[in-house]
């Protein structure tokens, strides 16, 4: 970890059925290392809403919380990583965010999403048009520091390799449970390391 690298505020995005309180262990850890953390509660959080509307909640929160021109970093857990991607790729977030981390996010879908007919859940099914659209120009994420942190032991992201994408850094951790990705020491260390990486000089679109 480079102590000279500026620490930006970090906005944490939770997954389905969660609230921002799931990040309490991570918040304590990052705060102890000097990061300022923020989180929001998605409404609704049960998959009823289209992920595009939840991404708009991210955009609105960022506009309220961070002064225009103030860089911040973004971390999404599970569904939160997909919401974060829509904010970055479709709602102008690439112009504001410097580092983007996902923890066990179904970038290529999860078969578990077939267990629900809720709109947000269906959008996380493999081969869904929503994910196809985001993956069509996923290379735009190369404009910032992007890190996907995932565990091969994940029983919610099926297959677990769905968290792997052809851009950014791929970090594998051996965390036994999906939900533990926000609190396990391996995950927390990987998050801090990624947040401490020197930021890229962004190229134009």
71, part of any domain: yes
Please check whether residue 201 lies inside any domain of the structure: no
In a domain, 2, yes or no: no
What does pTM read for this prediction?
A: 0.95
41 belongs to a structural domain: yes
Burial of 141 (0-12, 13-18, 19+ CB in 10 A): buried
In a domain, 205, yes or no: no
User: What is the pLDDT, as a whole number, of residue 132?
Assistant: 97
Task: Return the closest-CA partner of residue 190 out of 29, 40, 71, 38.
Answer: 29
For residue 165, pLDDT beyond 70 = yes
User: Could you read off the pLDDT of 75-103 as tens digits, one per residue?
Assistant: 999 999 999 999 999 999 999 999 999 99
167 falls within a domain: yes
Q: What is the CATH number of the domain that holds 45?
A: 3.40.50.1820
Residue 200 lies in a domain: no
**Sheet containing 145-150: which strands, arranged edge to edge?**
37-39, 10-13, 72-77, 97-103, 145-150, 169-172
Mean pLDDT score across all residues of the chain: 95
Confidence of residue 200 (pLDDT cuts 50, 70, 90): confident
> Does residue 203 sit within a domain?
no
Number of compact structural domains in the chain: 1
- What's the pLDDT score for residue 124? 98
Whole-number pLDDT of residue 4: 55
């Amino acid at each position: 970890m480079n102590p000279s690298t500026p620490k930006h505020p970090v906005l944490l995005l939770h997954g389905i059925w969660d609230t921002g309180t799931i990040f309490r262990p991570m918040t304590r850890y990052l705060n102890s290392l000097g990061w300022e953390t923020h989180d929001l509660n998605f409404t609704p959080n049960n998959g009823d809403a289209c992920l595009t509307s939840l991404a708009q909640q991210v955009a609105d929160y960022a506009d309220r919380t961070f002064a225009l021109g103030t860089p911040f970093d973004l971390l999404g857990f599970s569904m939160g990583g997909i919401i974060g991607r829509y904010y970055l790729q479709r709602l102008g977030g690439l112009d504001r965010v410097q580092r983007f981390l996902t923890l066990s996010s179904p970038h290529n879908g999860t078969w578990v999403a077939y267990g629900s007919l809720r709109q947000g859940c269906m959008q996380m099914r493999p081969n869904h048009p929503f994910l196809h659209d985001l993956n069509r120009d996923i290379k735009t994420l190369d404009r910032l520091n992007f890190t996907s942190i995932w565990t091969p032991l994940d029983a919610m992201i099926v297959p677990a390799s769905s968290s792997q994408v052809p851009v950014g850094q791929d970090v594998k951790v051996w965390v036994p449970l999906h939900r533990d990705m926000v609190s396990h020491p391996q995950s927390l260390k990987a998050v801090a390391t990624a947040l401490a990486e020197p930021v890229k000089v962004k190229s134009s679109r």
